[in-house]
Chain A
């Protein structure tokens, strides 16, 4: 396999993967949300870079949306939410940092192997980009399944969605309509999840999803 040419786009996408790894081991809730903001910031930079090299001005809108909503509005809202819930200092017990990190490295390797093998005919730039985007998506899922707290699961979900946007912009030509509809559905998912968080909190005095299972009379 010859090494594909590296580029600023790769640096930004790789940065996104790096921030995902940081989110993976971060066990403080407010720090996790800060990292989520950083994640969205790197994403908006990556998208803006794509807009420049692809000469696609509509991607600027995507970048600005990402910056406005995902890097500022949602993290601020989440910070306020955990303050209101009184869990902003909470430390979460994650499965085991070394094991999770190893799993994350494995996932990135898997994403690279799969994508570089299956997209042999695509342009090298897009191949690398999509491989990194798939890594971000898989890491987002890993965050979701290793966390017990609903807020950090939301953070994982958001980072997963960032990976989707990265893949779409890197592949040259996701229609803006699709992009906007994805953004809106994410926003609505965020609102719904937020409402649910408060409802769960009202009922069970905690946002640990474990409490839901105990309520159902299940043991883990």
Chain B
């Protein structure tokens, strides 16, 4: 089975090479994306079968590649199978979408070779079972996605984003490399099996946690390592943005689970606290910035930070529960994390696909230049509404189910023995609740400005429907969002083996319960039934809609004579991106982002227009990265003279370094 998976991944790599050969052919786009679709569908089917059949077993394979004394080890357990499903579902959808979307690509030869390699690398990371193959695949993933970010390299902004991404990715890999080094210890056996068998000392475990947070967190976009994400994700073509946000961040989540839950030894209670706090901060900062952003793709990228924060908060809960040997609670929190990872892949991919379709139809990414697309792009507007509801965590969609599970896990925190956790978990819960509410506001704003109202630019009023392949991908994922929300019990049971593989406990079986209800802890505590909620919401919404149509829309209204039936005619009189966000900006932005609105009134008699200017800072960038960049520049200035020494000086430096190392060796022994 694993041999078949590896063969499919190798075929993806070959497809990347073939794309180089066929780059001039007019059929290349369709062939490469069609091939990627077929291969990822096969991978998806295999992974799904394995997730269902593997239980707690595992399949292993070793190839004579890589380091000669280590080889390349691959291992497929339930956790890996679950993440393979997530990655390959996103990859198959992105390939299908790109069959249509790729036709609009100005330079397809810059995307085609790297796209299958990117997919193959993400699959390989999940399958790798030794540090060398893991880091190799991880770097391949980073480099392939970096090349894809630079696909439209003629825009200076994209080049800057690519450079920042490359820097952060190298930094993250360095952290992971050090982490694996600590896990392998002096023995230097880099296979995961040997690392798991070795019980590291507590301080080593804590160090590995910190390094995993740096390495996986920088790839996932955890605050404060997120700065590259809102720049790099939107810079790539939209199907790649969807993959980076939907799938690559999940690979980072996988890396974190694999390292911290399986390799780093038994957790201390405060580990969960650290992860929880980072997750909570990510949720609030991510969603606030999404709420103030006016570029649709960047808005979606900021929302990714929020969702990653949510997943990490659940992982922190799982760590805390596991440290206190509360198996059922840990399983609940881990289920919430994995379920949300799956959900986020579904709706964030849908939204990025939709953003790409809007971009090709209108050429605009600014919310203030969109509007009214619900009339021009009818068949896009419906699944986008579904995805917005799902990401806003509204029932009966899947986002609600997973966030509800997270809150159920938070409600179990009074059983924790440590006071630090007893206080911190509910505090994080309030952050998550705030984040959920703000996310709803954010996506009301997104959908309302882009799809409702009247077109804010000529480009938006001239938009046309997108192609069928793109629509098929968008509709398919949106339908899955609804299905996963209606039948959360089935999803929970499907991911139970992965949960068992990571926290050695599982949630009670959900599929046998009457009326498709889910009961995470006990019936007396809480239960949720997606179908009933769906029926209730549908019935009440239809009633309200009928009433509105009957008593408001159809009723005769009177307007002034020459207003064409509208109350006011100015397009600018609608809500704008800035005006919708203004209450939030006033409430939160002044403290956190130092946001300010300055009104410039022209002096009396002047014909200049009055202007309102908004400004805000990025607290993480200005507080952490700008000083760091300044320090590096100053250091580089100081060390600049080293570049202009004589040959003899250079040789002397090498010589002195050698003597110094020998001296260290002499003293050390």
Closest residue of A by beta carbon distance from B663: A110
With beta carbons under 8 angstroms apart, the residue of A111, A142, A145, A210 that contacts B662 is A111
Residues in A with CB closer than 8 Å to B659 are 107, 110, 138
Is the CB–CB distance between A110 and B666 below 8 Å?
yes
Contacts of A117 in B (CB 8 A): 665-666, 669
Per-residue CB contact flags for chain B residues 635-664 toward chain A (1 = under 8 Å, else 0) read 000000000101110011011001100110
Q: Do A114 and B665 touch across chains, with their CB atoms under 8 A apart?
A: yes
Contact residues in A for B666 (Cβ distance below 8 Å): 110, 113-114, 117
Q: Are B655 and A142 within 8 A (Cβ)?
A: yes
- Asked if A145 meets B669 with Cβ closer than 8 Å, knowing A213-B646, A216-B644, the reply is no
Using CB atoms, name the residue of chain B closest to A156. Answer: B651
Range for the number of chain A residues in contact with chain B: 20 to 34
Q: Using Cβ atoms and an 8 Å threshold, which residues of chain B touch A218? A: 644, 646
Q: Residue among B648, B652, B669 with the most chain A CB within 10 A? A: B648
How far in angstroms is the closest Cβ of chain B from A159? 14
A220–B646 CB distance below 8 A? yes
Nearest opposing residue in chain B for A112, CB measure? B666
List of B residues within 8 angstroms of A114 by Cβ: 662, 665-666, 669
From B648, B655, B669, A118 is in contact (CB under 8 Å) with B669
When C-beta atoms are compared, the residue in chain A nearest to B645 turns out to be A218
Chain A residues within an 8 Å CB radius of B647: 209, 212
Residues from chain B with Cβ under 8 Å of A144 in the complex: 651, 655
> Is residue A88 contacting chain B, with contact meaning CB distance below 8 A?
no
Query: How far does the Cβ of A142 sit from chain B's closest Cβ, in whole Å?
Result: 7
Q: How far is the CA of A53 from the CA of B459 in the complex (A)?
A: 89
Interface of B is mostly: helix
Residues on the A chain within 8 Å of B648, using CB: 145, 148, 209
Task: Give the residues from 90 to 149 in chain A that come closer than 8 angstroms, CB to CB, to chain B.
Answer: 107, 110-111, 113-114, 117-118, 138, 141-142, 144-145, 148
B666 to chain A, nearest CB (A): 5
Q: Which residues of chain A from 60 to 111 have any CB-CB distance to chain B below 8 Å in the complex?
A: 107, 110-111
Digit string of A183-220 for contact with B (CB within 8 Å is 1, else 0)? 00000000000000000000000000110110010101
Size band of the B side of the interface? 10 to 19
Whether the Cβ atoms of B646 and A118 lie closer than 8 Å is no
Who on chain A is nearest to B652 by CB?
Answer: A145
CB-CB < 8 A to A213: which residues of B? 646
Query: A residues within 8 A CB of B652?
Result: 145
B651, A210: Cβ atoms closer than 8 Å: no
**Is the CB–CB distance between B651 and A145 below 8 Å?**
yes
- Please report the C-alpha to C-alpha distance between residue A210 and residue B646 in the assembled complex, in whole angstroms: 8
B311-347 contacts to A, CB under 8 A, are none
Nearest-Cβ distance from residue A30 to partner chain B, whole angstroms: 22
Given the complex of chains A and B, what is the CA–CA distance between A141 and B655 in angstroms?
7
In this complex, what residue of B is CB-closest to A111? Answer: B662
Chain B residues near A141 (CB-CB < 8 A): 651, 654-655, 658
Chain A residue contacts of B669, Cβ below 8 A? 114, 117-118
> CB-nearest residue of chain B relative to A209?
B647
B647 and chain A: residue at smallest CB distance: A209
Which residues of A are found within 8 Å of B644, using beta-carbon distances?
216, 218
A217 to chain B, nearest CB (A): 9
Chain B: minimal CB distance from A93 (Å): 13
Say how far B254's CB is from chain A's closest CB, in angstroms: 42
- Please give me the residue from chain B that is nearest to A107 by CB atom: B659
CA distance A16 to B648 in the complex (A): 25
Q: How far is the CB of A94 from chain B (nearest CB, A)?
A: 12
C-alpha gap A144/B647 in the complex (Å) = 11
A111 CA to B666 CA, complexed, in Å? 9
Nearest-neighbour CB distance to chain B for A33, whole angstroms, equals 20
Other A-B pairs beyond A111-B662, A114-B662, A209-B647, 17, CB < 8 Å: A110-B659, A110-B663, A117-B665, A117-B666, A117-B669, A118-B665, A118-B669, A138-B658, A138-B659, A141-B651, A141-B658, A144-B655, A145-B648, A145-B651, A209-B648, A213-B646, A220-B646
Contacts A/B (CB < 8 Å), 26 sampled: A107-B659, A110-B659, A110-B662, A110-B663, A110-B666, A111-B662, A114-B662, A114-B665, A114-B666, A117-B666, A118-B665, A138-B658, A141-B651, A141-B654, A141-B658, A142-B655, A144-B651, A145-B652, A145-B655, A209-B647, A209-B648, A210-B646, A212-B646, A212-B647, A218-B644, A218-B646
**Interface set of A (CB-CB < 8 Å, partner B):** 107, 110-111, 113-114, 117-118, 138, 141-142, 144-145, 148, 209-210, 212-213, 216, 218, 220
